[in-house]
Amino acid sequence: MRVLEVASEATPFAKTGGLADVAGALPEALCRLGCETTLVIPAYREALAKGLPIEPTDLAFEVPIGTRRPVARILKCRLPDARGEVFLVANDDYYDRPGLYGSPDDYPDNAERYIFFSRAALELAGRQATSFDIIHCHDWQTGLVPAYQKLLYKSWPAVANAKTVMTIHNMAYQGMFWQWDMLLTGIDWQHFNWEQMEFYGQLNLLKTGLVFADAITTVSPTYAREIQQSPGGCGLEGVLAARSELLTGIVNGIDTQAWDPGNDPHIPRAYSEHDVDLGKYAARVALAARLGRAAPDARPLVAFVGRLAEQKGVELVVELISRMAGSGRAHFVVLGTGNRWYEEALQRTAASFPGTVDVVIGFDEGLAHLVQAAADITLVPSRFEPCGLTQLYAFRYGSIPVVRATGGLVDTVVDTNPDTLARGVASGFTFDAIDPMALEHALGRALDAHADRELWTRLVRHVMRQDWSWEHSGRDYVRLFERTLSRP
Protein backbone atom coordinates (compact mmCIF):
# COMPACT_ATOMS: atom_id res chain seq x y z
CA MET A 1 0.00 0.00 0.00
CA ARG A 2 1.38 3.43 -0.94
CA VAL A 3 0.52 6.11 1.60
CA LEU A 4 0.99 9.85 1.29
CA GLU A 5 1.08 11.58 4.68
CA VAL A 6 0.48 15.33 4.58
CA ALA A 7 1.06 17.32 7.77
CA SER A 8 1.98 20.84 8.80
CA GLU A 9 4.58 19.68 11.33
CA ALA A 10 6.58 16.53 12.04
CA THR A 11 9.50 15.61 14.27
CA PRO A 12 12.40 16.00 13.93
CA PHE A 13 11.81 18.84 11.46
CA ALA A 14 9.41 21.19 13.22
CA LYS A 15 7.16 20.81 16.25
CA THR A 16 4.66 22.75 18.29
CA GLY A 17 2.81 19.80 19.82
CA GLY A 18 1.66 16.20 19.63
CA LEU A 19 0.76 16.41 15.93
CA ALA A 20 4.47 16.60 15.11
CA ASP A 21 5.20 13.50 17.19
CA VAL A 22 2.48 11.59 15.34
CA ALA A 23 3.35 12.80 11.86
CA GLY A 24 7.02 12.01 12.51
CA ALA A 25 6.52 8.49 13.86
CA LEU A 26 3.44 7.14 12.07
CA PRO A 27 5.00 6.98 8.56
CA GLU A 28 7.86 4.88 9.89
CA ALA A 29 5.48 2.61 11.78
CA LEU A 30 3.48 2.12 8.58
CA CYS A 31 6.71 1.26 6.72
CA ARG A 32 7.51 -1.39 9.31
CA LEU A 33 4.06 -2.86 8.62
CA GLY A 34 4.78 -3.11 4.91
CA CYS A 35 3.48 0.21 3.55
CA GLU A 36 5.49 2.59 1.42
CA THR A 37 5.17 6.09 2.82
CA THR A 38 5.87 9.59 1.61
CA LEU A 39 5.58 12.43 4.12
CA VAL A 40 5.13 16.00 2.92
CA ILE A 41 5.64 18.98 5.24
CA PRO A 42 6.43 22.68 4.73
CA ALA A 43 10.10 23.70 4.61
CA TYR A 44 10.01 26.03 7.62
CA ARG A 45 13.08 28.06 8.50
CA GLU A 46 13.50 26.06 11.71
CA ALA A 47 13.33 22.74 9.83
CA LEU A 48 16.12 23.86 7.50
CA ALA A 49 18.28 25.13 10.36
CA LYS A 50 18.52 21.81 12.17
CA GLY A 51 21.39 20.32 10.20
CA LEU A 52 19.24 17.47 8.90
CA PRO A 53 20.24 15.86 5.58
CA ILE A 54 17.83 17.95 3.50
CA GLU A 55 18.71 18.31 -0.16
CA PRO A 56 17.27 20.16 -3.13
CA THR A 57 15.58 18.25 -5.96
CA ASP A 58 15.03 19.23 -9.59
CA LEU A 59 11.35 19.57 -8.94
CA ALA A 60 9.77 23.04 -8.78
CA PHE A 61 6.35 24.06 -10.01
CA GLU A 62 3.89 26.91 -9.88
CA VAL A 63 0.86 26.59 -7.63
CA PRO A 64 -2.24 28.59 -8.55
CA ILE A 65 -3.22 30.79 -5.59
CA GLY A 66 -5.98 33.16 -6.62
CA THR A 67 -4.62 35.10 -9.57
CA ARG A 68 -0.98 34.47 -8.66
CA ARG A 69 1.26 31.46 -9.24
CA PRO A 70 3.88 31.24 -6.48
CA VAL A 71 6.50 28.55 -6.93
CA ALA A 72 6.89 25.47 -4.76
CA ARG A 73 10.45 24.17 -4.66
CA ILE A 74 10.64 20.59 -3.50
CA LEU A 75 13.35 19.47 -1.08
CA LYS A 76 13.97 15.93 0.00
CA CYS A 77 15.30 14.33 3.16
CA ARG A 78 16.24 10.76 3.93
CA LEU A 79 16.90 10.50 7.66
CA PRO A 80 19.44 7.96 8.83
CA ASP A 81 17.67 4.62 9.49
CA ALA A 82 14.38 5.94 8.09
CA ARG A 83 12.52 3.87 5.54
CA GLY A 84 9.97 6.41 4.35
CA GLU A 85 10.71 9.33 2.09
CA VAL A 86 10.17 12.92 3.19
CA PHE A 87 9.52 15.89 0.93
CA LEU A 88 9.54 19.48 2.10
CA VAL A 89 7.64 22.18 0.23
CA ALA A 90 9.77 25.33 0.12
CA ASN A 91 8.61 28.85 -0.60
CA ASP A 92 10.52 31.48 1.35
CA ASP A 93 7.73 34.05 1.31
CA TYR A 94 5.51 31.62 3.19
CA TYR A 95 7.82 29.54 5.36
CA ASP A 96 11.11 31.38 5.90
CA ARG A 97 9.83 32.97 9.11
CA PRO A 98 10.25 32.43 12.85
CA GLY A 99 8.15 29.58 14.22
CA LEU A 100 5.42 27.70 12.41
CA TYR A 101 2.07 29.43 12.70
CA GLY A 102 3.15 32.76 14.24
CA SER A 103 3.40 33.48 17.96
CA PRO A 104 1.80 34.84 20.05
CA ASP A 105 -0.63 35.78 17.24
CA ASP A 106 -1.22 33.67 14.15
CA TYR A 107 0.34 34.95 10.94
CA PRO A 108 -2.34 36.95 9.09
CA ASP A 109 -1.77 35.00 5.87
CA ASN A 110 -2.08 31.52 7.40
CA ALA A 111 -5.01 30.70 5.13
CA GLU A 112 -2.84 31.38 2.09
CA ARG A 113 0.18 29.57 3.56
CA TYR A 114 -1.76 26.34 4.05
CA ILE A 115 -3.88 26.61 0.92
CA PHE A 116 -0.57 26.80 -0.92
CA PHE A 117 0.87 23.89 1.08
CA SER A 118 -2.18 21.65 0.57
CA ARG A 119 -2.29 22.27 -3.16
CA ALA A 120 1.48 21.90 -3.54
CA ALA A 121 1.41 18.57 -1.67
CA LEU A 122 -1.20 17.22 -4.06
CA GLU A 123 0.60 18.58 -7.13
CA LEU A 124 3.78 16.94 -5.88
CA ALA A 125 2.01 13.61 -5.34
CA GLY A 126 0.35 13.92 -8.72
CA ARG A 127 3.74 14.25 -10.38
CA GLN A 128 5.07 10.97 -8.96
CA ALA A 129 5.62 8.00 -11.25
CA THR A 130 3.66 5.54 -9.12
CA SER A 131 0.23 6.17 -7.73
CA PHE A 132 -0.89 6.53 -4.13
CA ASP A 133 -3.55 4.37 -2.52
CA ILE A 134 -4.14 6.51 0.55
CA ILE A 135 -3.72 10.23 1.13
CA HIS A 136 -3.69 10.81 4.88
CA CYS A 137 -4.24 14.40 6.03
CA HIS A 138 -3.82 15.88 9.48
CA ASP A 139 -5.78 18.80 10.95
CA TRP A 140 -7.10 21.99 9.36
CA GLN A 141 -3.82 22.91 7.69
CA THR A 142 -4.36 20.02 5.24
CA GLY A 143 -8.17 20.09 5.19
CA LEU A 144 -8.27 21.23 1.57
CA VAL A 145 -6.37 18.19 0.32
CA PRO A 146 -9.41 15.84 0.15
CA ALA A 147 -11.39 18.57 -1.64
CA TYR A 148 -8.61 19.24 -4.14
CA GLN A 149 -8.25 15.53 -4.84
CA LYS A 150 -11.95 15.13 -5.57
CA LEU A 151 -12.57 18.43 -7.34
CA LEU A 152 -9.42 19.52 -9.15
CA TYR A 153 -7.02 16.57 -9.47
CA LYS A 154 -9.33 13.81 -10.68
CA SER A 155 -7.41 13.54 -13.93
CA TRP A 156 -3.98 13.16 -12.35
CA PRO A 157 -3.31 9.38 -12.46
CA ALA A 158 -1.01 9.24 -9.44
CA VAL A 159 -3.72 10.58 -7.10
CA ALA A 160 -6.95 9.98 -9.04
CA ASN A 161 -7.86 6.68 -7.38
CA ALA A 162 -6.49 7.39 -3.94
CA LYS A 163 -8.81 7.38 -0.93
CA THR A 164 -8.43 10.30 1.45
CA VAL A 165 -8.35 10.00 5.24
CA MET A 166 -8.69 13.06 7.46
CA THR A 167 -7.34 12.79 11.01
CA ILE A 168 -8.50 15.25 13.65
CA HIS A 169 -5.88 15.95 16.28
CA ASN A 170 -7.84 18.77 17.87
CA MET A 171 -11.36 20.00 17.07
CA ALA A 172 -10.66 23.34 18.71
CA TYR A 173 -8.43 24.42 15.83
CA GLN A 174 -10.48 24.49 12.63
CA GLY A 175 -8.71 26.93 10.33
CA MET A 176 -11.55 29.46 9.98
CA PHE A 177 -10.92 32.36 7.65
CA TRP A 178 -12.94 35.10 5.98
CA GLN A 179 -15.00 34.05 3.03
CA TRP A 180 -12.90 35.85 0.41
CA ASP A 181 -10.00 33.48 1.08
CA MET A 182 -12.18 31.09 -0.91
CA LEU A 183 -10.81 32.90 -3.98
CA LEU A 184 -7.31 31.72 -3.12
CA THR A 185 -8.33 28.06 -3.16
CA GLY A 186 -9.30 27.93 -6.82
CA ILE A 187 -12.34 25.85 -5.82
CA ASP A 188 -15.68 26.85 -7.31
CA TRP A 189 -17.91 29.09 -5.19
CA GLN A 190 -20.71 26.54 -5.44
CA HIS A 191 -18.88 24.54 -2.75
CA PHE A 192 -19.01 27.48 -0.36
CA ASN A 193 -22.23 26.30 1.22
CA TRP A 194 -23.20 25.17 4.71
CA GLU A 195 -22.91 21.49 3.82
CA GLN A 196 -19.35 21.73 2.50
CA MET A 197 -16.80 24.50 3.06
CA GLU A 198 -18.75 27.26 4.80
CA PHE A 199 -19.32 27.66 8.52
CA TYR A 200 -21.48 30.63 9.50
CA GLY A 201 -20.19 32.77 6.67
CA GLN A 202 -16.55 31.80 7.03
CA LEU A 203 -14.30 29.42 5.16
CA ASN A 204 -13.65 26.41 7.45
CA LEU A 205 -10.74 24.26 6.30
CA LEU A 206 -11.19 21.44 8.84
CA LYS A 207 -14.87 21.12 7.95
CA THR A 208 -13.86 20.97 4.28
CA GLY A 209 -11.60 18.03 5.03
CA LEU A 210 -14.26 16.25 7.09
CA VAL A 211 -16.84 16.64 4.35
CA PHE A 212 -14.68 15.58 1.41
CA ALA A 213 -12.59 12.80 3.01
CA ASP A 214 -13.41 9.14 2.41
CA ALA A 215 -12.71 8.31 6.06
CA ILE A 216 -12.25 10.31 9.24
CA THR A 217 -10.19 9.39 12.24
CA THR A 218 -9.40 11.02 15.50
CA VAL A 219 -6.82 10.15 18.09
CA SER A 220 -8.84 8.19 20.65
CA PRO A 221 -12.16 6.33 20.81
CA THR A 222 -13.49 8.50 23.65
CA TYR A 223 -12.68 11.71 21.78
CA ALA A 224 -14.39 10.22 18.71
CA ARG A 225 -17.59 10.03 20.79
CA GLU A 226 -17.10 13.42 22.46
CA ILE A 227 -16.75 15.33 19.18
CA GLN A 228 -20.10 14.11 17.91
CA GLN A 229 -21.75 16.19 20.61
CA SER A 230 -21.52 19.70 21.94
CA PRO A 231 -19.24 21.11 23.29
CA GLY A 232 -16.61 18.56 22.11
CA GLY A 233 -17.43 19.06 18.44
CA CYS A 234 -16.77 22.80 18.69
CA GLY A 235 -19.69 23.49 16.33
CA LEU A 236 -18.92 20.67 13.89
CA GLU A 237 -20.68 17.97 15.95
CA GLY A 238 -23.47 17.79 13.37
CA VAL A 239 -21.02 17.26 10.51
CA LEU A 240 -19.35 14.45 12.44
CA ALA A 241 -22.55 12.82 13.64
CA ALA A 242 -23.78 12.77 10.04
CA ARG A 243 -20.64 10.93 8.98
CA SER A 244 -20.24 8.86 12.14
CA GLU A 245 -20.06 5.54 10.31
CA LEU A 246 -16.86 6.82 8.69
CA LEU A 247 -15.34 8.06 11.96
CA THR A 248 -12.86 5.90 13.93
CA GLY A 249 -10.84 6.66 17.05
CA ILE A 250 -7.27 5.32 17.10
CA VAL A 251 -5.08 6.11 20.11
CA ASN A 252 -1.73 7.63 19.18
CA GLY A 253 1.37 5.58 19.71
CA ILE A 254 4.63 7.01 20.97
CA ASP A 255 8.05 6.91 19.40
CA THR A 256 9.70 4.45 21.76
CA GLN A 257 13.15 5.23 20.38
CA ALA A 258 12.94 8.97 20.84
CA TRP A 259 11.36 8.43 24.28
CA ASP A 260 13.43 5.66 25.83
CA PRO A 261 14.80 5.99 29.38
CA GLY A 262 17.18 3.17 28.50
CA ASN A 263 18.78 5.29 25.79
CA ASP A 264 18.08 9.00 25.95
CA PRO A 265 20.76 11.62 25.30
CA HIS A 266 18.77 14.13 27.36
CA ILE A 267 19.05 12.24 30.65
CA PRO A 268 22.23 11.61 32.62
CA ARG A 269 21.77 7.92 33.45
CA ALA A 270 19.94 5.25 31.49
CA TYR A 271 17.42 3.27 33.51
CA SER A 272 14.71 0.67 33.26
CA GLU A 273 11.93 -0.56 35.55
CA HIS A 274 14.61 -2.44 37.55
CA ASP A 275 16.70 0.57 38.54
CA VAL A 276 14.20 3.37 38.15
CA ASP A 277 15.10 4.92 41.53
CA LEU A 278 18.74 5.34 40.51
CA GLY A 279 17.78 6.74 37.12
CA LYS A 280 15.33 9.19 38.63
CA TYR A 281 17.81 10.31 41.25
CA ALA A 282 20.43 11.06 38.58
CA ALA A 283 17.83 12.93 36.54
CA ARG A 284 16.88 15.00 39.57
CA VAL A 285 20.48 15.94 40.23
CA ALA A 286 20.78 17.09 36.61
CA LEU A 287 17.43 18.90 36.77
CA ALA A 288 18.44 20.68 39.98
CA ALA A 289 21.57 21.91 38.20
CA ARG A 290 19.45 23.13 35.26
CA LEU A 291 17.19 24.98 37.69
CA GLY A 292 20.17 26.57 39.42
CA ARG A 293 19.90 24.60 42.64
CA ALA A 294 22.76 23.03 44.54
CA ALA A 295 20.99 19.77 45.35
CA PRO A 296 17.83 17.95 44.32
CA ASP A 297 14.72 18.21 46.44
CA ALA A 298 13.91 15.12 48.49
CA ARG A 299 10.13 15.52 48.19
CA PRO A 300 8.08 13.83 45.45
CA LEU A 301 8.48 15.74 42.21
CA VAL A 302 5.18 16.71 40.57
CA ALA A 303 5.59 17.89 36.97
CA PHE A 304 3.54 19.62 34.31
CA VAL A 305 4.86 19.78 30.73
CA GLY A 306 2.66 21.24 28.05
CA ARG A 307 1.32 24.10 26.01
CA LEU A 308 0.06 26.86 28.26
CA ALA A 309 -3.38 26.95 26.66
CA GLU A 310 -6.84 26.93 28.22
CA GLN A 311 -7.33 23.37 26.95
CA LYS A 312 -4.57 22.09 29.20
CA GLY A 313 -6.21 23.18 32.47
CA VAL A 314 -3.38 25.55 33.32
CA GLU A 315 -5.50 27.58 35.72
CA LEU A 316 -6.16 24.37 37.67
CA VAL A 317 -2.41 23.91 37.96
CA VAL A 318 -1.92 27.50 39.13
CA GLU A 319 -4.70 27.12 41.72
CA LEU A 320 -3.49 23.69 42.80
CA ILE A 321 0.04 24.92 43.39
CA SER A 322 -1.18 27.96 45.27
CA ARG A 323 -3.26 25.72 47.52
CA MET A 324 -0.72 22.94 48.01
CA ALA A 325 2.75 24.43 47.82
CA GLY A 326 2.51 25.70 51.39
CA SER A 327 1.96 22.16 52.70
CA GLY A 328 5.46 21.17 51.64
CA ARG A 329 4.25 17.75 50.46
CA ALA A 330 5.74 18.04 46.99
CA HIS A 331 8.14 19.91 44.75
CA PHE A 332 6.45 21.29 41.60
CA VAL A 333 8.17 21.76 38.25
CA VAL A 334 6.35 23.33 35.30
CA LEU A 335 7.70 23.52 31.75
CA GLY A 336 5.58 25.28 29.17
CA THR A 337 5.00 28.18 26.89
CA GLY A 338 1.96 29.80 25.34
CA ASN A 339 -0.60 32.22 26.69
CA ARG A 340 1.16 35.22 28.22
CA TRP A 341 -1.36 35.43 31.07
CA TYR A 342 -0.70 31.83 32.12
CA GLU A 343 3.06 32.33 31.83
CA GLU A 344 2.89 35.31 34.18
CA ALA A 345 0.52 33.60 36.63
CA LEU A 346 2.86 30.62 36.85
CA GLN A 347 5.91 32.83 37.29
CA ARG A 348 4.16 34.75 40.06
CA THR A 349 3.30 31.44 41.78
CA ALA A 350 6.91 30.29 41.53
CA ALA A 351 8.07 33.58 43.05
CA SER A 352 5.66 33.06 45.98
CA PHE A 353 7.06 29.63 46.81
CA PRO A 354 10.80 29.71 46.20
CA GLY A 355 12.36 26.30 46.69
CA THR A 356 9.05 24.52 46.19
CA VAL A 357 7.90 25.63 42.75
CA ASP A 358 10.07 25.90 39.64
CA VAL A 359 8.63 27.30 36.42
CA VAL A 360 10.52 27.24 33.14
CA ILE A 361 8.88 29.22 30.33
CA GLY A 362 9.95 28.04 26.91
CA PHE A 363 9.86 25.13 24.50
CA ASP A 364 12.71 22.76 25.26
CA GLU A 365 12.51 19.19 23.98
CA GLY A 366 15.54 18.01 25.96
CA LEU A 367 14.25 19.52 29.19
CA ALA A 368 10.85 17.86 28.62
CA HIS A 369 12.63 14.49 28.60
CA LEU A 370 14.66 15.34 31.69
CA VAL A 371 11.59 16.54 33.62
CA GLN A 372 9.67 13.34 32.80
CA ALA A 373 12.67 11.27 33.89
CA ALA A 374 12.99 13.20 37.15
CA ALA A 375 9.26 13.31 37.93
CA ASP A 376 7.35 10.97 40.24
CA ILE A 377 3.98 12.34 39.20
CA THR A 378 2.92 14.08 35.98
CA LEU A 379 -0.16 16.31 35.90
CA VAL A 380 -2.45 16.32 32.85
CA PRO A 381 -5.56 18.19 34.07
CA SER A 382 -6.87 19.01 30.58
CA ARG A 383 -10.34 20.46 30.02
CA PHE A 384 -10.41 18.28 26.92
CA GLU A 385 -7.71 16.07 25.47
CA PRO A 386 -8.01 14.39 22.07
CA CYS A 387 -5.33 11.81 22.94
CA GLY A 388 -2.53 13.32 24.99
CA LEU A 389 1.02 12.10 24.70
CA THR A 390 2.38 13.50 27.95
CA GLN A 391 0.79 10.75 30.04
CA LEU A 392 2.22 8.10 27.70
CA TYR A 393 5.71 9.58 28.00
CA ALA A 394 5.19 9.72 31.77
CA PHE A 395 4.43 5.98 31.78
CA ARG A 396 7.54 5.21 29.79
CA TYR A 397 9.71 7.21 32.19
CA GLY A 398 8.10 5.73 35.32
CA SER A 399 6.14 8.81 36.34
CA ILE A 400 2.54 8.24 37.41
CA PRO A 401 0.00 10.51 35.69
CA VAL A 402 -2.77 12.40 37.49
CA VAL A 403 -5.28 13.21 34.77
CA ARG A 404 -8.73 14.59 34.16
CA ALA A 405 -11.03 11.85 32.84
CA THR A 406 -11.57 13.20 29.34
CA GLY A 407 -10.85 12.10 25.76
CA GLY A 408 -7.75 10.01 25.24
CA LEU A 409 -6.86 10.27 28.92
CA VAL A 410 -9.85 8.00 29.63
CA ASP A 411 -8.58 5.49 27.09
CA THR A 412 -5.01 5.39 28.39
CA VAL A 413 -5.03 5.93 32.17
CA VAL A 414 -6.68 3.50 34.60
CA ASP A 415 -7.54 4.99 37.98
CA THR A 416 -5.91 3.38 41.00
CA ASN A 417 -8.37 1.75 43.39
CA PRO A 418 -8.52 -1.59 45.22
CA ASP A 419 -10.19 -3.27 42.24
CA THR A 420 -7.78 -2.04 39.54
CA LEU A 421 -4.84 -2.73 41.83
CA ALA A 422 -6.02 -6.30 42.40
CA ARG A 423 -6.35 -6.76 38.65
CA GLY A 424 -2.90 -5.25 38.08
CA VAL A 425 -4.18 -2.61 35.67
CA ALA A 426 -3.96 0.57 37.78
CA SER A 427 -1.80 3.16 36.04
CA GLY A 428 -2.65 6.60 37.41
CA PHE A 429 -5.13 8.80 39.23
CA THR A 430 -8.14 10.37 37.54
CA PHE A 431 -10.66 13.04 38.45
CA ASP A 432 -13.79 14.36 36.74
CA ALA A 433 -14.70 17.91 37.67
CA ILE A 434 -12.89 20.89 36.13
CA ASP A 435 -12.11 22.09 39.60
CA PRO A 436 -8.80 22.63 41.44
CA MET A 437 -10.19 20.80 44.46
CA ALA A 438 -10.85 17.69 42.38
CA LEU A 439 -7.29 17.87 41.05
CA GLU A 440 -5.97 18.42 44.55
CA HIS A 441 -7.87 15.40 45.80
CA ALA A 442 -6.51 13.19 43.00
CA LEU A 443 -2.97 14.42 43.59
CA GLY A 444 -3.46 13.81 47.31
CA ARG A 445 -4.35 10.19 46.53
CA ALA A 446 -1.25 9.92 44.37
CA LEU A 447 0.97 11.36 47.10
CA ASP A 448 -0.52 8.95 49.65
CA ALA A 449 0.24 6.07 47.30
CA HIS A 450 3.75 7.42 46.78
CA ALA A 451 4.34 7.17 50.52
CA ASP A 452 3.65 3.41 50.32
CA ARG A 453 6.88 2.25 48.72
CA GLU A 454 5.69 -1.23 47.87
CA LEU A 455 2.51 -0.01 46.22
CA TRP A 456 4.35 2.74 44.33
CA THR A 457 7.01 0.37 43.02
CA ARG A 458 4.26 -1.93 41.76
CA LEU A 459 2.54 0.96 39.97
CA VAL A 460 5.76 2.28 38.44
CA ARG A 461 6.83 -1.15 37.21
CA HIS A 462 3.43 -1.73 35.65
CA VAL A 463 3.32 1.58 33.77
CA MET A 464 6.89 1.18 32.52
CA ARG A 465 6.11 -2.29 31.18
CA GLN A 466 3.10 -1.13 29.15
CA ASP A 467 3.49 -0.99 25.40
CA TRP A 468 2.22 2.23 23.82
CA SER A 469 4.45 1.94 20.78
CA TRP A 470 3.16 2.61 17.28
CA GLU A 471 3.06 -1.14 16.64
CA HIS A 472 -0.60 -1.44 17.70
CA SER A 473 -1.89 1.89 16.47
CA GLY A 474 -0.01 1.50 13.19
CA ARG A 475 -1.87 -1.78 12.66
CA ASP A 476 -5.17 -0.07 13.37
CA TYR A 477 -4.37 2.55 10.73
CA VAL A 478 -3.45 -0.12 8.18
CA ARG A 479 -6.74 -1.93 8.87
CA LEU A 480 -8.63 1.33 8.50
CA PHE A 481 -6.83 2.13 5.22
CA GLU A 482 -7.71 -1.35 3.92
CA ARG A 483 -11.36 -0.92 4.90
CA THR A 484 -11.46 2.47 3.22
CA LEU A 485 -9.91 1.10 0.03
CA SER A 486 -12.41 -1.73 -0.11
CA ARG A 487 -15.39 0.65 0.04
CA PRO A 488 -16.82 1.61 -3.35
Interface residues toward ligand ADP, by CB under 6 A: 17-19, 21, 305-307, 335-337, 363-365, 368, 387-390
Nearer to ligand ADP, 126 or 232 (CB): 232
Nearer to ligand ADP, 266 or 284 (CB): 266
Nearer to ligand ADP, 271 or 384 (CB): 384
Peptide bond just before 12 cis, omega within 30 deg: yes
Nearer to ligand ADP, 365 or 467 (CB): 365
Least separation in angstroms between CB 135 and ligand ADP: 22
Least separation in angstroms between CB 7 and ligand ADP: 12
Nearer to ligand ADP, 234 or 455 (CB): 234
Least separation in angstroms between CB 343 and ligand ADP: 11
Least separation in angstroms between CB 301 and ligand ADP: 16
Least separation in angstroms between CB 60 and ligand ADP: 33
Least separation in angstroms between CB 326 and ligand ADP: 26
Nearer to ligand ADP, 25 or 187 (CB): 25
Nearer to ligand ADP, 122 or 346 (CB): 346
Least separation in angstroms between CB 337 and ligand ADP: 5
Nearer to ligand ADP, 12 or 17 (CB): 17
Least separation in angstroms between CB 348 and ligand ADP: 18
Q: Closest residue to ligand ADP, Cβ-based?
A: 18
